[in-house]
Copies of this chain bind each other. A is one copy, B any other.
Amino acid sequence: MTKLSRRGILSAVAASAVASPAVAQSMPNLKWRMTTSWPKSLDLTYGVCEELAKYVAELTDGRFQIQVFAGGEIVPPLAATDATSNGTVEMCHTATYYNYGKDPTWALFCAIPFGLNARMQNAWMYDAGGMDVMNEFTRKFNIHSLAGGNTGCQMGGWFRNELKDVASLKGLKFRVGGFAGTVLAKLGVVPQQIPASDIYPALERGTIDAAEWVGPHDDEKLGFYKVAKFYYTPGWWEGGTVLHYLTNLDKWESLPRNYKAALTAAAAFANSLLIARFDSQNPIALKRLLANGTQLRSFSPAIMSACLKAANDVYAETSAQNADFKKVWDNIKAFRNMEYEWWQVAEFNYDNFMVRTAAR
């Protein structure tokens, strides 16, 4: 499994001892377009795409240029994958659970209820064959995938009213992405998939009762605290959300080896940078939100247990209907259980001591 995944992540360097071809062949001038699912106001997520483009240019001495577009500029935010698949653009940056309706397997690579945390996602993708598993699937859509950003564990969203018990979920119109909607629907929630730019007006007008996006930094930018007071935790449906750079497979395969290496390295860099920025900026934003009257709430143990049961039901039902889904989910579930067995020994133990002694 390890060997396989190492080929996976470093596929571009698998045969590194090659003779140097002529520079003209190996460094052609290229101009690509990248559409994203993000408004420019999301400075971290959109910003890291601009940096990826700069980095690829730098690595290729200015010869491989990528132009980045906000969601809606040339392609609607939630249509980024389609536009990449059909070659409207060469690549995109998106959350693949937006494609959940087409095939729920897409969600497994991005974020799923009670899934891997951020470090475990990287461990799965980079060392346990995860990127190979993903590319085997996305190849069917004419797409080459690279992990390109993680949010860490997200918050559970903004609610106009407190959740008293499991029954409070009944009839709740909740903006929530991907897979989580199906799980929450089992408990009576009416899920809505709405792109970032349209959430605030929906919450303000009362078209929806609650909305989740990412965490303090992004959520503050989108202004939700102005129209909903209760900020719930944890976002159990996004324990370590991975965003991806998806590339049209024909375009990917047409790249010279060193350009593949440049895009692969820049995506891996973006993958690290984005979570570093969220981890660094979230505590600052949270302090401001609390100072502005936001009230933190934890989902009650009863709600958490009901959601876990509903999630396991959806996993079983979807696995029974979709062979791709079953194969990938079985892989992730076994990895998750093994990871958390180890996690509690050192990492969680350390954090537990530190939370008690350093955070107050």
Contacts and interface: CB of A to CB of B under 8 A. Distances in A.
Interface string A41-67: 000000000010011011111110000
B308 A265 contact: no
Contacts of A58: 12-13, 16, 257-258, 261
Task: Determine chain A's interface SS by DSSP, over half rule.
Answer: helix
A239 to B, nearest CB: 5
Interface in A206-251: 215-216, 233-236, 239
A358 B336 contact: yes
A168 interface: no
B347 A359 contact: no
Given A27-B23, A61-B21, A357-B114, A280 B123 contact: yes
A192 interface: no
Contacts of A342: 216, 282-283, 286
A354 B114 contact: yes
Contacts of A126: 272-273, 276-277, 280
Contact of A62 (B19, B117, B280): B19
Given A351-B343, A351-B351, A354-B340, A262 B59 contact: yes
A2 interface: yes
Interface residues of A, number: 95
Nearest to A354: B340
Contacts of A12: 58
B347 A152 contact: yes
Interface in A158-192: none
Interface of A: 2, 9-10, 12-13, 16, 18-21, 23, 26-27, 51, 54-55, 57-63, 114, 117-120, 122-128, 152-155, 215-216, 233-236, 239, 257-258, 261-262, 265-266, 268-269, 271-273, 275-277, 279-284, 286, 296, 298, 304, 308, 336-355, 357-360
Given A20-B62, A155-B345, 5 more contacts: A10-B54, A27-B61, A119-B279, A126-B277, A340-B354
